[in-house]
Amino acid sequence: MSSFKNNCKAILDDFKQHLSLKQIKIIKRTYIWGKRLLIAVLLWFIFVVCFVTHLEPTEDGIGMNWLNGELRLLERNGWHITPPWVWVAKVQTTPMRVSVSTASRGYSAKLVQFNSEHYEEFIKTEGWYFYWWYNRLSFNIGYDRNEEYRGFRDVMRAYAYSAKKYPFITLLKEYEAE
């Protein structure tokens, strides 16, 4: 093992002999700035993950404060900066077609839209979680790849076909077989 250390020391000494003092300072300065840049990028990533939420124009956010249990609706699209104890679940507000896939001639589809004004009733009924993650790990692909229900669309389909009518879902149109 000592011969390995001696060989490494000899290589390092040989390397230092071929470099000028100015080149060694440049290497040290590059190393220091590289570390600073890496730390800055890591801190920026942590900031974005913990504090920043982006809402598209077709989305509203339901913010849950985990310290006091308070709910609030984020209706303005764009970037939102929240404390790390406030988590925001995104809900789509655009009309979406939901249907029960079937191989028979009986066809049933509905055009529904989430009504953000009644988000508190929605949370009382459904509970708060990240709705985009809902049913993501299901291996049931349905009849058609285009008819997969994942995320918030799956939640909307359940309430659209429920026997009870809820104020947070608006039925825009109902399609049926003729």
Whole-number average pLDDT of the chain = 81
Q: What is the mean pLDDT of residues 106-114?
A: 84
What pLDDT is stored for residue 148 in this prediction? Answer: 56
Local structure of 85: helix, strand or coil = coil
Task: Indicate whether 90 and 155 sit together in one domain.
Answer: yes
The answer on 147 and 93 residing in a single domain is yes
44 and 71 part of one domain? no
Question: What pTM did the predictor assign?
Answer: 0.67
Residue-wise pLDDT tens digits, 118-140: 999 998 988 887 766 655 555 55
Residue 32 and residue 69 share a domain: no
pLDDT tens profile 24-63:
788 788 888 999 999 999 999 999 888 898 889 988 888 8
Residue 131 structural domain: 56-176
User: Are 73 and 153 within one domain?
Assistant: yes
For residues 177 and 106, the answer to whether their CB atoms sit within 8 Å is: yes
Q: Are residues 40 and 63 in the same domain?
A: no
User: Do residue 67 and residue 136 come from a single domain?
Assistant: yes
Q: What is the mean pLDDT of residues 100-114?
A: 78
Signed CA dihedral, 36, 40, 45, 46: sign only: positive
User: Where among 12, 32, 50 does a domain terminate?
Assistant: 50
- Based on the fold, state whether residues 26 and 102 are members of the same structural domain: no
Residues 65 and 128 occupy one common structural domain: yes
Same domain? For 102 and 154 the reply is yes
| DSSP of 17-86 | HHS-HHHHHHHHHHHHHHHHHHHHHHHHHHHHHHHEEEE-TTEEEEEEETTT--EEEE-S-EEEE--TTE
**Cβ pair 113, 172 in contact under 8 A:** yes
What total of structural domains would you count in the chain? 2
Query: Do residue 45 and residue 76 come from a single domain?
Result: no
Pairing of strands 86-92, 96-99: unpaired
Whether residue 10 sits in one domain with residue 60: no
Sign of CA dihedral 119, 124, 128, 133: negative
149 pLDDT higher than 60: no
